[in-house]
Amino acid sequence: MTKPLNYDCWSSIIDKMDANKRFEISRQCPSLKKLEESLPLYIDYLKFEAGFGPHIMTINRTTYTIGTVRVYPKGKRIPLCHQEENEEGGVAFDFGQFGFADPQEQPRQAPRRAEMSWKALVYEEKRFHGIRRFVDYLRHRRPSEPRMDFDLVYSKDWGDADLFDDIEESRNKLQAYYNVRDKSRVIYKPMSQLKIESPNEKMIVKRSTKRLKDCEGKLFKRLFGNRDSINRYSREFQIKKVTILKDAYEHKDYSDVVRGWMQHERPIGSYCSVNLRDRRIAFETILKLEDYGVRVDERCIHLSMNEDSKVQVIFWPLETEPVWVLKWEVIAV
């Protein structure tokens, strides 16, 4: 009979394991959880991504994607836009009972009554029927081009499929308004989903009926809770106060993050960057850093670090996605 490993042996083995393997062992073997969390955690690559889609966290070569997906009853047709969002990992918010983004900010907050925008409903109905009339015109079912008193970006290179996608998207928006008007709940079930993908490993997908924010908090607590720090293999940097990671997607500004990052000596070329949905967050960061540096222009500021280097904080719009990139980098004086 094989003799089980003792405490010291487990300590030596876990200490040399990849961070993601350690997370999995800690989850599957609760008896090793305290031991695993007490050992220094070394990560070679750590990245957070937040946008209009799901939140994505990459640790070394493993990706954790968490978002809200729409689960339709078996046999029901899933709208293309919902199917695409589900395949991408969901969206970064919860849904209310009528299909709109849930306005609740706190899990235990009393539910708010969904507000009906009649102006938006009338506009969306006008747009829906207008696109259909435009399709009829392109198919020569109408003698003249219909009046465009709604938003429609159309290219000659578009085919029928592109316009039909636009019609379907408009129809889904209308359905949400009709649900509120008629007090009819959506047929799908919103669920928080966690997808874990690793090279040469089977993809893991877990779903929960709990709110997305609660599931995110649970994930961060499981991965980083009760740890004093996260270290890089090269030992060039160390993230302390790991609790800050729980709010990694929700900073109102990054001035404190930048200043905290500057407290450690870093070689020229070191940098961090985040993608932001709201330009105001980046602008507010630059504004709050004015007391500590020299403003170069509206989107850039320089912060003194030492005699040979300084930190440049800059932001700009990303061309491929509707987000803003905020970057701080050590540059030569």
Same domain, 58 and 34: no
**Residue 199: closest CA among 72, 18, 9:** 18
pLDDT of residue 314: 92
Same domain, 282 and 322: yes
Same domain, 260 and 319: yes
Same domain, 177 and 46: no
Residue 89 lies in a domain: no
What is the phi/psi pair of residue 287, to 5°? -60, -45
Tens digits of residue pLDDT in 303-316: 998 888 899 999 98
Same domain, 256 and 308: yes
Number of independent structural domains in the chain: 4
Same domain, 272 and 135: no
Residue 105 lies in a domain: no
pLDDT of residue 311: 93
Alpha carbons 320 and 288: distance in angstroms, whole number: 28
Q: What is the mean pLDDT of residues 183-194?
A: 85
Domain at 265, CATH number: 3.30.1370
Same domain, 66 and 201: yes
pLDDT band for position 64 (50/70/90)? very high
Residue 244 DSSP class: G
pLDDT of residue 322: 66
pLDDT of residue 118: 66
Same domain, 149 and 294: no
Query: For the whole model, what pTM was predicted?
Result: 0.57
Q: At what angle do helices 160-182 and 118-138 cross, to 10 degrees?
A: 150
Alpha carbons 209 and 206: distance in angstroms, whole number: 11
Q: Give percent helix, percent strand, percent coil of the chain, each to the nearest 5.
A: 35, 25, 40
Alpha carbons 100 and 118: distance in angstroms, whole number: 15
Tens digits of residue pLDDT in 194-248: 999 998 888 999 999 999 988 988 888 888 877 766 666 554 445 544 433 444 4
Residue 209 lies in a domain: yes
**Residue 312: closest CA among 324, 300, 323, 321:** 300
**Residue 197: closest CA among 67, 61, 292, 289:** 61
Alpha carbons 48 and 59: distance in angstroms, whole number: 9
**Contact present, 112 and 104 (Cβ < 8 Å):** yes
Tens digits of residue pLDDT in 282-300: 888 899 999 889 998 889 9
Domain range enclosing 8: 1-39
Q: Is 309 helix (H, G, I), strand (E, B) or coil?
A: strand
**Contact present, 293 and 331 (Cβ < 8 Å):** no
pLDDT band for position 158 (50/70/90)? low
**Contact present, 327 and 300 (Cβ < 8 Å):** no
The answer to whether residue 147 scores a pLDDT higher than 80 is no
